[in-house]
Amino acid sequence: MGDDRLAIRKLGTIDCDLVETTPVVFHERLYRYEYVRDNYKPNKTGTSYSRFVDVATGKVTPSFAVGYHLGSAYEDQGRMYVYAVEHWGKPRVQVFWSDDLQTWRDQPALVLPGWAIYNTSVCRGPDRYIMAFEVGEPLEVVGQPFTMRFAESDDLLNWRLLPEDRVFSKDRYTACPTLRFLDGLYYMIYLEARPGPTYEPHIVRSPDLVHWQSSPLNPMMQFSDEDKRIANPALTPEQRQLIAEAVNLNNSDVDLCEFGGEVIIYYSWGNQQGLEFLAEAKYAGTLESFLKAFYPE
């Protein structure tokens, strides 16, 4: 099998100052979940919130999860779930759920006093749901920040921390998890810090969340001039100039889903220090073929 990373087609930038997003299918339509930061220029509310965008029409749902941060979305049996932290580096993950993307309920999902929690990702395993979540503190838990730990749930609402040997990885910076399960294996895309510094997404897989195998084809993507293509015609001249002049040293915060016979990929690029852009890429094939391509026989 050849190096199918070449089949990832970068479309370019679709927004500025928007980072943590999740492509997700809901009632057979493709949506983009967006965590809207308080410094996102079109956000005039003064605080953060979450929303969904119907990708085909551009229609935006009512905002929710006001004041919460670093969200991720997961659909299950016609219900949408969003997981977000009460603040960057706080110990509580809150779950929000809705059947129509209009009205939402919420409750604490995971509370770990003394822990600093950031990004999350959820998938269905063989007999339960699994959450990967990024931890920055305490040092005795994370080793070298950042580190991924894992939790389990039977109902997507109430979560239990898994034992400390379910971890990736305490010896170096590993952040921004995206977790999927396929044919008995958990596949995780995460952010690896490289010399420079630069940042790039890598793929690992595991049968048990303890023992991990890195893809021989890593990195999954690397920053490139293609990130600066204009994929959204509504971007203003000022935004286009900002994109053209921006320092780019990372592809990060990758999330993806299968829709319409291809894999939709959203990711961030920029300087990893606050100047960030949202970009889109696609892979012509199924999510199964995409993940397996990174582990050629």
Largest CA distance in the chain: 52
Residue type, 144: Q
**Mean per-residue pLDDT, 182-204:** 97
Beta bridge partners of 117: 90, 135
Provide the domain count of the chain: 1
Q: Write the pLDDT tens digit of every residue in 129-159.
A: 999 999 999 999 999 999 999 999 999 999 9
Q: Who contacts 43 (Cβ-Cβ below 8 Å, separation ≥6)? A: 36, 37, 49
Structural domain containing residue 33: 4-293
Helix (H) or strand (E) holding 111: strand 105-111
Q: Give yes or no for a contact between 249 and 197, defined as CB atoms under 8 angstroms apart.
A: yes
CATH number of the domain within which 85 lies: 2.115.10.20
**Mean per-residue pLDDT, 123-127:** 97
Q: Write the pLDDT tens digit of every residue in 157-191.
A: 999 999 999 999 999 999 999 999 999 999 999 99
Q: Write the pLDDT tens digit of every residue in 269-283.
A: 999 888 999 999 999
Strand bridging mode 116-124 / 105-111: unpaired
Helix (H) or strand (E) holding 238: helix 237-245
pTM: 0.96
- C-alpha to C-alpha distances, 21 to 35, 119, 217, 266, nearest whole angstrom: 6, 11, 25, 7
